[in-house]
Structure 1
Amino acid sequence: MDYTVMIPAAGSGRRMGAGYNKLFLTLGEKPILVHTLEVFEKDRACTGIVLAVKPEERPSIQDDLNRFGITKVIGFADGGSERQYSVAACLKAHVTGGIVLVHDAARPFIRQFVIDELVSTAAKFGAAIAGVKPKDTMKFAPVGIVEETVDRDKLWIIQTPQAFSFDVLKEAFNKAKADDFLGTDESMLVERMGHPVRIVESTYDNVKMTTTEDLVFGEILLQRRQQEDEK
């Protein structure tokens, strides 16, 4: 089933210590952002990409799109100070409806089968998010003292993409704006409307490039993916 994807790409390199947008950092010989965009460029079901970027970074990003043959970017939106504002700007620039994915620009290792399952689930139920089960023992300790050992079988570590019917996502954003509510992800906005959100199991290598340690792991993952492609 066809879908479009919205990618907020107006972040910074604060936690990476880069001093500039971490998406311009490279894995192998390509910027992180390009690796992420290539996933959707190669997916026939993806009919378009909407990017939220800083206006001053748009020329550099456009240069990378041209250089690496990224053709599916159908729109740009001005990125905001918070992720929610950037995604809202993408929604405003999006006009085709249907199934919409929201994906972190710094997650270049999402697997195709996860995308396929998210799109299928969102088409049936209106909302689906990617996640993995925690591997470690989980403790509830709000002030640094353990109050409870939490059953990790009931917990999920949430990733992106997050997939929604356009109408569901738009309604959630409109309500959040009316209520002056700022959430941590798109699912949170949909949840507070009372709309069920289903979880699609993802993979542990769908990591977000956030710290320098993530970059080291990313290089290893990139080499592994290239070896898989050669087989």
Structure 2
Amino acid sequence: MDYTVMMPAAGSGQRMGAGYNKLFLQLNHKPIIIRTLLVFEEDPACTGIILAVKPDERNEIQSMLDQFGISKIQTIVDGGTERQYSVAACIEAHAENGIVLVHDAARPFLKKSVIANLVQKATKYGAAIAAVQAKDTMKIVTDGVVEETVDREKLWIVQTPQAFRYDVLKEASESANRAGFLGTDEAMLVERLGHPVHIVESTYENVKMTTQEDLAFGEIILNRQQEDIL
């Protein structure tokens, strides 16, 4: 089943401490953003990618796309000050129905099997998100004091991609923006409308490159993948 990807890539990456867009950092001689884009470039089911970027980084990103042969970019739009606004710009640029995936540009270790499962569930139910179960004991704390230990069997750590029928995502985005509601992810906007969101189990390797520690973990994952090939 075919899908389109919407990829917000206009963040600041301050927690990485690089002094510039973390997506330009190299993972084994390729920028993070390119490694993420290659996942979809190499997936026959992906029919196109809509990329939201900072206006002043557009030329540099276009140069990377050309250098690494990324051919599935349908359009590049100006990103907003918040992720939600960047995704809204991608939604406006998309003129078709079908399934759309919203994916963090800083998650380059996504499995194609997870993508396929997301597309299948979103086609059936309208909304599905990638997630992994919490492994640690979780507690609710107020003012430094534990109030309650939460049943971790019911807790999932949410990742991307998040997959939706286009009409579902568009309605949720437009409703939130009209109301001035700012969510932390697209699923939250869909939940706000009362639409059920289904879980697709992902992998713990699908980590977002946010800190220097994540970058080191990414290098380990790449080395492991190369060893598996050999």
Post-superposition offset of 1:50: 0.3
Q: Which residue of 2 aligns with 1:87?
A: 87
Greater than 4 Å deviation, 4+ residue runs: none
5+ residue gaps, structure 2 = none
The one-letter code of the counterpart of 2:42 is: K
Paired residue secondary structure (1:7): strand
Distance 2:66 2:226 in 1: 23
TM-score of the superposition, structure 1-length normalised? 0.98
Q: Which residue of 2 aligns with 1:35?
A: 35
The one-letter code of the counterpart of 2:160 is: T
Q: Which residue of 1 aligns with 2:14?
A: 14
Distance 2:144 2:22 in 1: 32
Q: Which residue of 1 aligns with 2:181?
A: 181
Post-superposition offset of 1:226: 2.3
Output aligned runs, 1:160-179, within 5 Å.
Answer: 160-179=160-179
TM-score of the superposition, structure 2-length normalised? 0.98
Distance 1:121 1:86 in 2: 25
Q: Which residue of 2 aligns with 1:140?
A: 140
Q: Which residue of 1 aligns with 2:62?
A: 62
The C-alpha deviation readout for 1:92-147, integer Å capped at 9, x for no partner, is: 11112210000000000011100000000000000000000011000011322100
Q: Which residue of 2 aligns with 1:219?
A: 219
The one-letter code of the counterpart of 1:104 is: D
Post-superposition offset of 1:227: 2.6
The one-letter code of the counterpart of 2:225 is: R
Q: What RMSD in Å do the two structures reach over aligned CA positions?
A: 0.8
Distance 2:71 2:57 in 1: 18
Post-superposition offset of 1:13: 2.6
Distance 2:178 2:17 in 1: 36
Distance 2:12 2:178 in 1: 28
Q: Which residue of 2 aligns with 1:5?
A: 5
Post-superposition offset of 1:12: 1.3
Paired residue secondary structure (2:104): coil
Distance 1:176 1:71 in 2: 32
5+ residue gaps, structure 1 = none
